[in-house]
Structure formats: C-alpha cells, structure tokens
Amino acid sequence: MEVTLNVKRYDPDSSKPAAYYQEYTVEVNDTTILLDSLIQVREQIDETLTLRCSCRAAICGSCAMRVNGHAVLACKTKVMELLPKSGNTITIEPAGNMPVIKDLVVEFNVFWDKVKAVKPWLQPQGPPPQAEYIASNEAMQHLVGVTGCIMCGACVSDCTVLEVDKNFLGPAALAKAYRFVADPRDDADSVRLGELNEYGGIWDCTRCMQCVEVCPKGVDPMGRIMALRDKAMQYGYQNTYGARHATAFTELIKHGGTLDELRLPIKTYGMFNIKQMVKLIPIGIRSQLKGKRPPIFHKAIPGVENVRRIFKKVENKR
C-alpha cells in the first residue's frame, strides 16, 4: 500500500532557514522498516533528505527519531505499526531535546555531556588486582539490563523534564550512573550518590515513564533512577526535598491509608520554611476557589490497619 511520510525538514544553510514539513509517498508492505523507507526517499526521490544511520540492526543507536510524537529507532520499527487508526500519513521529526543540525539529524553533544557528567568509568579503590577485578555472575547478570543501552537518545528525546529543565541529567545518563553504582567493582558509590542527589539529579525525575516506553532496549531508565533514590537514602542522603517528599509520602499513606495532600508539602518543605510556605498560598487559594482543597483534618480510611500491615511486611523484608 501507499504511505505518506510527512517529514520535518530544516536546513540551516538555506536562504530561509525555517523548519517546514514535506510529504513523500512510498510503497510499503507488512515488513517494510521505517529506515528503509527513508533511505528509499533519499535514494530515489530527494537526495537532500538528511538522516543518520549506520548498523540498520538496532545496535549503533544512530537512527532515533520522533514518529507521530514519540521516539523510535527507525531501523527497528515497521512502517505498518506506525500508521494511525485512520489515514495513511506518518509524521516524522528529529529526536527532541537536542538541537537539530539538519532534517532528522540532531547534535549529540548535549547527550554526551550529560553522560560524561556522571563519570561513566569504574572507580575501584586500593591497588589493582594481580589479574582482573572479580565480580559475581549474579551481579553482572543484574547489570545486563542496563549495559544493553545503545546510547540512542530516544529516552532523552521524550523526557518531559528535559523539555522544561535542561539542567536535568536525564534518563540515559542516570541509567549509566546506576550501572556504576550497582557494579560491585566500583568503590565510589557514596560520592556518586552525593553528586546525583544535587539539583538536576535523581530527584528531578517526575516518573512520567516516557523513557521506559520509548527505550528500544528495555533499559528501564526510570526504574534505575528509582533504584538510585533508594540507594541514596540508604547512604544517608535524606535531607533533600525529593528525599523528604518520598519519606513524607510513605509516612502519610502508612498513617491514613490515602494521601493527606495538605500535609505532604508541609512535611516536605518543613513548617518553618517560610519562603516555600508562602509559595504554596496561591495554590491553596486556587484549590479553595475550585472546590479542590484537601480536607484540613484527613481521616484514615476504614481498614487502615490492613495498609499498615502491608507496610510492616515490606519493612521486615528489607
């Protein structure tokens, strides 16, 4: 069947360097891969179309781009899977959160700078071993999920926090940081976690799950970030808004069975943090006006003891 590829074009060297969309019609069947269709366009219809690819086998990480608003690896995705419910047009754009160089090619320095910032190398202490550093099979098996990252940038492209805060380290870099924190041969956990605890680090993720959904290798960046949060708290890094928010959230659910939304920010920021308390006043007024202000006295749900029993069970397992 015929499919229309609606491609976002941008050429900084043109006389009018503004992005625009251009349509190309290609013939596809059930097995046609998106990257093959784009290469076909470049070779047979428009040689100026610029894209990046190399292995064509989901290994090199070169061909991430946005299709219908979500990042995919073009060489791992069938065109037919991308067709909307009605119509036969697919919109293809460069990966997000990175500057566009030309058409579907983005500048990866932003990505690599963040990966480099987490010091992605082993930092063992003491004299080097005679032969090699030993790690158990179990430990290395655990790391396989995260070492499978091919640095394609799909997760960075769709990270909702990076859209608004370029200081955030982002999913790929934080997954890489986890890879070293969880490696038994690395002895810099405490320092690493202290750095990741800062602004732009593990507590800035909003758990939107976009990175999990678009990762073509099942790395589960958000899961790694949550694991880093646990580790940071175990290492005693508990005095950040993020850590206090997590602790308060847990305590409030344990106490009442549902979240006491009024006390959550108070416990997170501290009652005497006047600056933050003042910032909450407009939110309080707006929620009052919309009839959404949480009750001042939060009642525990019936059967809350069952919730507390679950907490106890989990705490005893730790």
Total binding residues for ligand SF4 by CB under 6 A? 27
Question: Partners of 26 in the beta sheet?
Answer: 3
Binding at 55: pick from ligand FES, ligand SF4, none (beta carbon under 5-8 Å per type): ligand FES
Distance in Å, CB of 218 to ligand SF4, minimum: 8
Binding at 157: pick from ligand SF4, ligand FES, none (beta carbon under 5-8 Å per type): none
Contact status: 215 vs ligand SF4 (CB under 6 A): yes
Binding at 171: pick from ligand FES, ligand SF4, none (beta carbon under 5-8 Å per type): ligand SF4
Site for ligand SF4 in 113-152 (CB under 6 A): 149-152
Identify which of 128, 277, 155, 165 has the alpha carbon closest to the alpha carbon of residue 221.
155
Binding at 41: pick from ligand FES, ligand SF4, none (beta carbon under 5-8 Å per type): none
Site for ligand SF4 in 145-164 (CB under 6 A): 149-155, 159-161
Contact status: 58 vs ligand FES (CB under 6 A): yes
Which one of 51-59, 99-107, 120-128, 240-248 is the stretch in contact with ligand FES (CB under 6 A)? 51-59
Q: What is the per-residue DSSP string for 97-122?
A: SS-EEETTEE--HHHHHHHHHT--S-
Contact status: 59 vs ligand FES (CB under 6 A): yes
Contact status: 308 vs ligand FES (CB under 6 A): no
Task: State how far the Cα of 141 lies from the Cα of 159, in Å rounded to an integer.
Answer: 27
Site for ligand SF4 in 190-209 (CB under 6 A): 205-209
Residue spans of alpha helices (H) in the chain: 34-40, 79-82, 109-117, 137-147, 154-158, 160-164, 171-181, 189-196, 210-214, 221-234, 241-256, 263-269, 274-289, 304-317
Q: Which is nearer to ligand FES, 54 or 234 (CB)?
A: 54
Backbone φ and ψ for 8, nearest 5 degrees, come out as -80, 125
The residues near 228 (Cβ < 8 Å, ≥ 6 apart) are 174, 177, 178, 181, 193, 196, 202
Distance in Å, CB of 248 to ligand FES, minimum: 42
| 145 touches 179 (CB < 8 A) | no
Using CB under 6 A as the criterion, which residues of the chain lie in contact with ligand SF4 when the complex forms? 149-155, 159-161, 171-172, 175, 205-211, 215-217, 219, 221-222, 225
